[in-house]
């Protein structure tokens, strides 16, 4: 029942120190030098970092899209996540207009409960906010602990909600203590640009990027931020790809708004030119929003470093090249959007971020785990190494050099978006609530061992005191 991780360097968002971790009944019960417990299994972490397990706040597992379903489900997806150092995922529960919310949530429970190998939770998509949904939402937030609501400003005629729905969702979230997440792109204009491109015979994958320019991401981000200001609510912008959007988030935060942002590994290391690969291979790199011109990568790294963006999500949404991405041959608008990223998120951020000197070790932990735990109501159960926290732990060897490849990855998909990429570091062993899921780079977990996480309501990361409370008098 007891384990001690010895000889490693413990890293949290705040501290880096040599120490041992005592684990009892799935929880961390002591931290210190030279810990002993007679009946404990000793795990040697010499030469390794001991990180809190990664939290991936943005996955799509077993998700229908454009007439097909993602290649990875909750079993293959969470297994690959664990190999990569992630111990919690928050997946998006899709809803359909007219359908009771509870039925959608039950569908997601059925997809995940016997399959997940690590802990998981759900965000809830809001596509309409009529009296019925308004009546059901408080119950879902309370009973299911789903405290984040996703609104799509793009994907006209499928997922897209109008501005009124976004506004009402922000109002409701303010009242209920939920965090509103937006896919920020101007879907109305994009639909028109796509029609124009196809009519002109421009059907190759690159036109996916050219019909979704960064201005339309910046515009939607700013619009969502203004509606957040107007409702005094809170907003989390998913998958920020470009300077235009990152700057709008920075501007909103400068105003003191509770506006947060996430980027994804693909936007930090890949660029728009990948969509021009020959033989339709560009389809492998079709994400929405799209990959951008390479100079945006520096803007995103800056935004992570200076705190304008707080998290990195994988936006895992894998489709095979053969038979799935190929649905868009001759019409880029029919290419299923998304890619396989859940496994390499952690190592890419470490390698490109820490070893290249762009972020510190502690900032890495903050971005890969701690910030998401705080924003999504899981802290301090998840997202840190502390007495009382779940023993979700990654033993990470920073000295390994390896090459990312579909030949060695564990995702159930026929290509790797980062094929040939050299990275420093690799998770050696990964524990979920004190049990090994990965041991010495081998999977030893079990489908269905992951637990569903009910999350706390949103709390602003730095609650500002009311002015009259400062110094004991009105100032």
- Site residues (CB under 5 A) for Zn ion? 315
Q: List, in sequence order, the alpha helices (H) in 120-210.
A: 131-144, 163-176, 187-199, 206-210
Q: How far is the CB of 156 from Zn ion (least distance, A)?
A: 17
Identify whether the C-beta of residue 215 lies closer than 8 Å to the C-beta of residue 245. no
Instruction: Please name the residue ranges forming H helices in 349-474.
Output: 361-365, 371-375
Q: How far is the CB of 238 from Zn ion (least distance, A)?
A: 6
- Looking at beta carbons only, is 3 or 208 nearer to Zn ion? 208
Q: Is 216:186 a contact under the CB 8 Å cutoff?
A: yes
Q: Least CB distance from residue 397 to Zn ion, whole Å?
A: 30
Q: 125 - beta bridge partners? A: 150
Q: Are 184 and 237 in contact (CB under 8 A)?
A: yes
Q: How many residues does the chain have?
A: 475
C-alpha distances in Å from residue 174, one per residue of 121, 154, 233, 300: 21, 23, 5, 28
* 397 vs 380: CA distance, rounded Å: 25
Burial letters for 277-309: b for 16+ Cβ neighbours within 10 Å, e otherwise?
Answer: eeebebbbbbbbbbbbeeebbebbbebbeeebb
Q: How far is the CB of 342 from Zn ion (least distance, A)?
A: 12
Of 21 and 154, CB closest to Zn ion: 154
Shortest gap between Cβ of 315 and Zn ion (angstroms)? 4
**29 CB-contact burial (10 Å; exposed 0-12 / middle 13-18 / buried 19+):** middle
> For residues 6 and 123, which CB has a smaller minimum distance to Zn ion in the complex?
123
248 neighbors 190 (Cβ within 8 angstroms): no
* Joined tokens for residue 372: 């998401």
Instruction: Output the smallest distance, CB 286 to Zn ion, in A.
Output: 13
Contact 5, 43 (CB under 8 A): yes
Nearer residue to Zn ion within complex by CB, 315 or 390: 315
Helix or strand (DSSP H, E) at 59: strand 54-59
Nearer to Zn ion, 239 or 382 (CB): 239
Q: Are 34 and 392 in contact (CB under 8 A)?
A: no
Cβ nearer to Zn ion, comparing 62 with 315: 315
Please say which residue, 51 or 319, places its beta carbon nearer to Zn ion. Answer: 319
CA 332 to chain centre: 26
Q: Using the minimum distance from each CB to Zn ion, give the nearer residue, 155 or 396.
A: 155
Shortest Cβ 59–Zn ion spacing (Å)? 8
d(CA 125, CA 138): 14
**Beta bridge mates, 258:** 234
Closer CB to Zn ion, 119 or 315, in the complex: 315
Smallest distance from Zn ion to CB 184, Å: 12
Taking the complex as a whole, how short is the minimal distance between the CB of residue 290 and Zn ion, in angstroms? 13
Compare residues 7 and 68 and give the one whose CB is closer to Zn ion: 68
DSSP string, 138-157: HHHHHHH---EEEEES-STT
Q: CB 261 → Zn ion: shortest distance, Å?
A: 14
Minimum CB separation of residue 353 from Zn ion in Å reads 21
Q: Which residue, 20 or 344, has its beta carbon nearer to Zn ion?
A: 344
Cβ-contact 391, 433 below 8 angstroms: yes
Residue nearest to Zn ion (CB): 315
Neighbours of 418 (CB within 10 A): 24
């Amino acid at each position: 029942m007891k384990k001690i991780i010895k000889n490693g360097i413990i890293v949290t968002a705040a501290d880096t120190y040599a120490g041992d971790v005592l684990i009892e009944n799935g929880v961390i019960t002591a931290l210190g030098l030279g810990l002993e417990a007679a009946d404990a299994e000793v795990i040697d972490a010499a030469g390794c970092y001991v990180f809190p397990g990664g939290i991936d706040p943005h996955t799509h597992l077993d998700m229908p899209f454009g007439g097909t379903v993602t290649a990875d489900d909750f079993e293959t997806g969470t297994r690959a996540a664990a190999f990569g150092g992630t111990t919690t995922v928050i997946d998006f529960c899709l809803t359909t207009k007219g359908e009771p919310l509870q039925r959608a949530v039950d569908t997601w429970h059925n997809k995940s409960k016997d399959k997940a190998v690590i802990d998981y939770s759900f965000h809830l998509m809001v596509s309409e906010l009529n009296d019925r949904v308004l009546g059901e939402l408080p119950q879902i937030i309370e009973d299911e602990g789903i405290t984040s609501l996703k609104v799509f400003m793009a994907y006209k005629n499928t997922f897209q909600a109008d501005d009124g729905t976004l506004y009402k969702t922000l109002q409701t979230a303010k009242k209920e203590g939920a965090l509103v997440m937006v896919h920020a792109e101007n879907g109305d204009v994009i639909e028109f640009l796509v029609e124009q491109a196809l009519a002109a015979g421009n059907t190759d994958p690159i036109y996916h990027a050219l019909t979704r320019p960064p201005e339309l991401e910046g515009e939607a981000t700013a619009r969502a931020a203004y509606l957040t200001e107007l409702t005094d609510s809170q907003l989390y912008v998913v998958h920020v790809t470009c300077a235009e959007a990152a700057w709008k988030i920075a501007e909103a935060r400068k105003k003191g708004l509770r506006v947060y942002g996430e980027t994804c590994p693909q936007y930090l290391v890949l660029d728009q030119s990948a969509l021009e690969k020959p033989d339709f291979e560009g389809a492998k790199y079709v994400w929405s929003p799209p990959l951008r011109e390479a100079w945006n990568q520096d803007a995103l790294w800056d935004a992570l470093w200076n705190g304008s963006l707080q998290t990195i999500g994988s936006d895992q949404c894998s489709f095979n090249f053969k038979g799935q991405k190929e649905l868009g041959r001759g019409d880029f608008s029919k290419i299923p959007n998304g890619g396989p990223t859940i496994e390499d998120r952690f190592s890419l951020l470490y390698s490109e971020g820490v070893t290249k000197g762009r972020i510190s070790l502690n900032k890495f932990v903050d971005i890969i785990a701690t910030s998401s735990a705080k924003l999504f109501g899981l802290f301090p159960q998840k997202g840190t190494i502390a007495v009382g926290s779940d023993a979700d732990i990654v033993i990470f060897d920073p000295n390994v050099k390896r090459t990312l490849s579909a030949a060695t990855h564990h995702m159930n998909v026929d290509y790797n978006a980062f094929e040939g990429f050299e990275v420093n570091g690799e998770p050696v062993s990964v524990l979920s609530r004190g049990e090994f899921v990965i041991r010495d780079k081998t999977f030893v977990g079990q489908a269905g061992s992951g637990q569903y996480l009910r999350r706390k309501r949103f709390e602003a990361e730095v609650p500002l005191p009311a002015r009259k409370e400062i110094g004991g008098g009105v100032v």
